[in-house]
Amino acid sequence: MEPYVLEWLNLLGRWFHLIAGVAWIGSSFYFVWLDAHLHAPRDREEGTRLDLAGEVWSVHGGGFYRAQKFRVAPPELPEPLHWFKWEAYSTWMSGMFMLVLIYWLGAGVYLVDPAVAALAPGTAVAIAAAFLVGGWLVYDALCRSRLGDNEPVLAAILFVLCSLAAWGLCQLFSGRGAFIHFGAMLGTIMAANVFFVIIPGQKALVRAKQEGRAPDPIHGLRGKQRSVHNTYFTLPVLFTMISNHYAVLTQHRFAWLALVGIALAGATIRLYLVLRHRGQSKPLLLAVGIASLAGTFVLAMPRPAPTQAGAAVPTFAEVRAVVEQRCAGCHAAQPTYPGFASPPKNVVLDSADAIVRQAQTIHQQTVVTKAMPIGNLTQITEAERAVIDGWYRAGAKP
């Protein structure tokens, strides 16, 4: 019953995380767009008001909307005043729930790969947590330092540090574990920006108005800086959320470089779109993003293994023996390997017909990317991978 319960916790947690993430990213993207499209108020009277930074008129869902932004704060606080924070908090909390459920409680399966680093599960979890906390502390310290006033220099330093983090994670954890923790580190920074900087700054502005004091504009400036940073982190984080489906990247020997390439592409493309909203066309940024994607594509391209002339073609019986011993414990209608309530991705390999039908998938996962078995739990050998490879290249005949 326990694997079945875990399966449902996985389903509900992942669903909630997706819903919360859509809400957070949607509101974030909207307000970045809104800020980039502000114009001087069109009413003659309001056009003379120095407290207004601008306004936006829009039409949606059959109605017209008028949104105004104040330079610091309005003359009087309205009621009710809507806050945008629980989208961020619920996204981070549900993401941490999934991280703990899958990668920390299942560290021996999903996080630790003995072929990468012989870590005890507890040690691996402690290191993973340190990356999440340390990432925020370093980032926050940089933003609060004098470097935080120079965005290009700050961006360059953060890129170097993120690249080092990607490299370090890939030297310690399984490919999928490294990628998801890189995303979790960025996601933690994003949520911490909201919790420790943006919302406290907004509360300080509200408190000043309530007490009849002039609000300090520094809170708005800091909040906007962190909010803009968050929007640049968004696309890299979204990529890591789906990266476990792409072993061609997570299992590559230069997986860290592929991770950096995709993250750079996401950040530069998002930056291009933000600037385009402001009427600033920067095609070079788009070119950098596309070039980064193209470079990653070339980097991760599988190289065919050399064939040995005169080598005997493995028989199907040999292949089936390998699959039954190394794969079928999880990939069966009723998995026998502890912790699995159903076959991963519904791939069943407990019959001859099923093995032949799934020949391409078996070859891709066990030979090309070596993503399976996960963490090599069943100790498949290189000789056994070669048996599958030879059989597949000879036509995968039963």
User: For residue 215, is it within any domain?
Assistant: yes
Q: Is the same domain home to 328 and 199?
A: no
Strand partners, 6: none
pLDDT band of 310, cuts 50, 70, 90: low
Task: State residue 20 phi and psi, 5-degree precision.
Answer: -65, -40
Report whether 95 contacts 184 (CB < 8 A).
yes
pLDDT band of 394, cuts 50, 70, 90: confident
Three-state DSSP at 167 gives helix
- Average pLDDT of span 144-150: 94
What pLDDT digit, counting tens, does each position of 52-81 carry?
888 999 999 999 999 999 888 888 888 898
Q: Is the same domain home to 135 and 283?
A: yes
- Average pLDDT of span 306-327: 79
Q: Is the same domain home to 9 and 46?
A: no
**Among residues 266, 300, 334, which one ends one of the domains?**
300
Strand partners, 255: none
Would the pTM of this model clear 0.85, i.e. be above it?
yes
Q: Is the same domain home to 149 and 6?
A: yes
Domain that holds residue 65: 38-70
Place of tokens 């498949």: 380
The fraction of the chain above a pLDDT of 70, given in percent, is 96
Q: Is the same domain home to 325 and 385?
A: yes
pLDDT band of 297, cuts 50, 70, 90: very high
pLDDT band of 305, cuts 50, 70, 90: low
- Average pLDDT of span 312-334: 86
Cis upstream peptide for 215 (omega within 30°): no
Q: Is the same domain home to 129 and 167?
A: yes
User: For residue 308, is it within any domain?
Assistant: no
Report whether 392 contacts 315 (CB < 8 A).
no
**What is the reported pLDDT for 336?**
81
Letter string b/e over residues 20-36, b meaning 16 or more CB atoms within 10 A of that residue's CB = bbebbbeebbebbbbbb
pLDDT band of 374, cuts 50, 70, 90: confident
Q: pLDDT at residue 341 above 60? A: yes
Q: Is the same domain home to 201 and 99?
A: yes
Q: Is the same domain home to 120 and 158?
A: yes
Look at the chain and report how many structural domains it folds into.
3
User: For residue 305, is it within any domain?
Assistant: no
Q: How far is CA 236 from the centre of its chain?
A: 5
Q: How far apart are CA 5 and CA 47, in angstroms?
A: 60
Q: How far apart are CA 85 and CA 194, in angstroms?
A: 7
**What is the reported pLDDT for 18?**
95
Q: Is the same domain home to 156 and 26?
A: yes
Three-state DSSP at 300 gives helix
Cβ neighbours, 10 Å, residue 181: 27
What pLDDT digit, counting tens, does each position of 150-161 carry?
999 999 999 999
Q: Is the same domain home to 292 and 325?
A: no
User: For residue 248, is it within any domain?
Assistant: yes
Q: Is the same domain home to 247 and 161?
A: yes
Helix axes 2-36, 255-277, angle to 10 degrees: 40
Q: Is the same domain home to 261 and 325?
A: no
User: For residue 389, is it within any domain?
Assistant: yes
Q: How far apart are CA 160 and CA 237, in angstroms?
A: 17
User: For residue 307, is it within any domain?
Assistant: no
